[in-house]
Amino acid sequence: MTPASPPASRLPPHGFWAGLAATAPVVPGAVAFGLVYGVLARQAGLSLWATTAMSVLVFAGAAQFTAVSMWGQASAGLIIATTLMINLRHLLMGASVAPHLLGQPARWKALLAFGLTDESYALAISRYLRGEGSREFLLGANLGLYGGWTLSTLVGGVLGGLVVDPGRWGIDLVFPLTFLGLLVPLLGRPVTVVVAGASGIVAVATAAWLPGKGNLVLAILAGGAIGAVLEAWWTPTA
Amino acid sequence: MDAYGVILGMALATYATRALAIFLLSRRLPPALERFLSHIPAAVFAALAFPPLVAPEGSFAPGLPAAAAAVAAAVAWRTRQIFTTILAGMGSYWLLRWVVG
């Protein structure tokens, strides 16, 4: 709904349908990810309903993968705390998109916050930066990913009941490979290489002392702190 | 706590991270906190990726998973596609297991 905009000759880049359409390139990846999540969640011992409920209610791929990989080994509190840590990046994305939503009603903010993902944030913020963003576009992008994620999760959950013994096929390797695939594209900056190296080393070195994946919390805090300190030293701007 | 209790807690934690800034932010975060938060994703991904790849039994002992991960990392650097990275890693892992026996 952009009444002041000029009549568009092509698909208007502002609205709900444009946001939904913009997700087309990334939805196949989300669907593949969702299928794998669904299979692994079932093998970790979650019921089909719990597998699907997690996608419907949480809607956070990396956090859900991590929770499933910790399932049965870590306490509920540690799984929830790790979810919080992994999703701290959304705090930054929310902070970045917040100036564009300042005048919006609380119900719109509440709805858009629920669906804020890496991909929909990236699509929407690029429109905002070009002056073409809108709450409807962000909602459409959120919904495209939400639909792809929840439905593929359900299908993966059904398939997951059929597959057995992930260790035999090395399917459990999909977890670290996924995080490697998320990490490597970030390594263009030297400071990020140091952050990743420090975090990885701390995670491996403290695994024996801090069982139940408590080593991850220490590694993440150490990596974030080292990155913040290095960047404060390296960046001349105050 | 049963499965749905954990899921509800995860949902609340996730929603808090997404909604907090959108509802509260009329001013910027302190720069030091912003710098810290900006490095969290890389730290999270590395902390999750490294132990199963280079220390699958708990202590540092790189083997076939680490070799497969090296291939996957090269593919990730070239393609920047998560699914392609997974396929490359699993493919080389299966190939190595078949070769080594």
* A34-64 residue pLDDT tens: 888 999 899 899 999 999 999 999 999 889 9
Residues A211 and A167 in one domain: no
Residues of chain B in contact with residue A57, where contact means CB-CB under 8 angstroms, are 7-8, 10-11
Strands (DSSP E) contained in chain B are none
For the segment A204-216, what is each residue's pLDDT rounded down to a tens digit? Answer: 999 888 765 668 8
Say yes or no: A183 contacts chain B, CB-CB below 8 A: yes
With CB atoms and an 8 Å threshold, state whether A196 touches B21.
no
Residues A116, A153: one domain? Answer: yes
A151, A194: one domain: no
| pTM to 2 decimal places | 0.68
Which ranges of chain A have pLDDT less than 70? 1-13, 163-169, 211-214, 235-238
Contact assignment for B82 to A29 by CB distance below 8 Å: yes
pLDDT at site A7? 43
User: What's the count of helices (H) and strands (E) in chain A, helices before strands?
Assistant: 13, 0
A78 and A42 both lie in a single domain = yes
Query: Is A57 in contact with B11 (Cβ distance < 8 A)?
Result: yes
Domain termination site, one of A151, A175, A199: A175
**Eight-state DSSP code of residue A122:** H
- Residue A168's pLDDT is 65
Q: How far apart are the first and last CA of chain A?
A: 40
Answer yes or no: do A204 and B28 touch at CB < 8 A. Answer: no
A1 found inside a domain: no
Please report whether residue A8 resides in a domain: no
Residue A230 inside a domain? The answer is yes
Task: Judge if A167 and A221 occupy the same domain.
Answer: no
| Chain B residues within 8 A of A190 when measuring between CB atoms | none
The domain boundary, picked from A147, A175, A203, lies at: A175
Question: What pLDDT is stored for residue A102 in this prediction?
Answer: 83
Sequence spans of domains, chain B: 1-33, 39-101
* Shared-domain flag, residues A171 and A222: no
Do A133 and A66 reside in the same domain of the chain?
yes
- Is A55 within the bounds of a domain? yes
One domain for residues A213 and A100:
no
Q: For residue A10, is it within any domain?
A: no
Asked if A170 reaches chain B (Cβ–Cβ under 8 Å), the answer is: yes
Query: What's the domain count of chain A?
Result: 2
Chain B nearest-CA residue for A26: B81
Q: Write out the residue range of the structural domain in which residue A207 sits.
A: 187-238
User: Does A29 sit within 8 Å of B83, measured CB to CB?
Assistant: yes
SS3 A187: coil
At A6 the pLDDT is 43
Residues in chain B with CB shorter than 8 Å from the CB of A84 are 13-14, 16-17
Regarding whether A45 and A142 lie in a shared domain, the answer is: yes
Residue A197, pLDDT score = 97
Least Cα separation, residue A184 to chain B (angstroms): 6
Q: Which of A53, A208, A170, A164 is nearest to B98 (CA)?
A: A170
Query: Are A164 and A197 part of one and the same domain?
Result: no
> Pick from A59, A95, A220: which is nearest to B47 by CB?
A220
- Statement to judge: residues A151 and A236 lie in one domain: no
ipTM, 2 decimals?
Answer: 0.84
B65 and B52 in contact (C-beta within 8 Å)?
yes
pLDDT of residue A211: 61
- Please compute the mean of the pLDDT values over residues B86-92 and round it to a whole number: 93
Tokens 């962000």, residue located: A138
Task: Give buried/exposed letters for B60-96 (b at 16+ CB in 10 A, else e).
Answer: eeeebbbbbbebbbebbeeeeebbbbbebbbebbeeb
pLDDT of res. A58: 96
| Residue in A57, A149, A177 to test binding to B, most B beta-carbons within 10 Å | A177
Q: A-B interface: how many C-beta pairs under 8 angstroms?
A: 282
In a domain, A100, yes or no: yes
| Nearest-angstrom CA–CA distance, A22 and A12 | 12
Which chain A residues are closer than 8 Å to B50 by Cβ? 176, 199-201, 203-204
Q: Are residues A49 and A165 located together in one domain of the fold?
A: yes
Q: How far is CA B87 from the centre of its chain?
A: 16
pLDDT at A163: 62
Report the distance separating Cα B13 and Cα A80, nearest Å: 7
Nearest to B40 among A89, A106, A184 (CB): A89
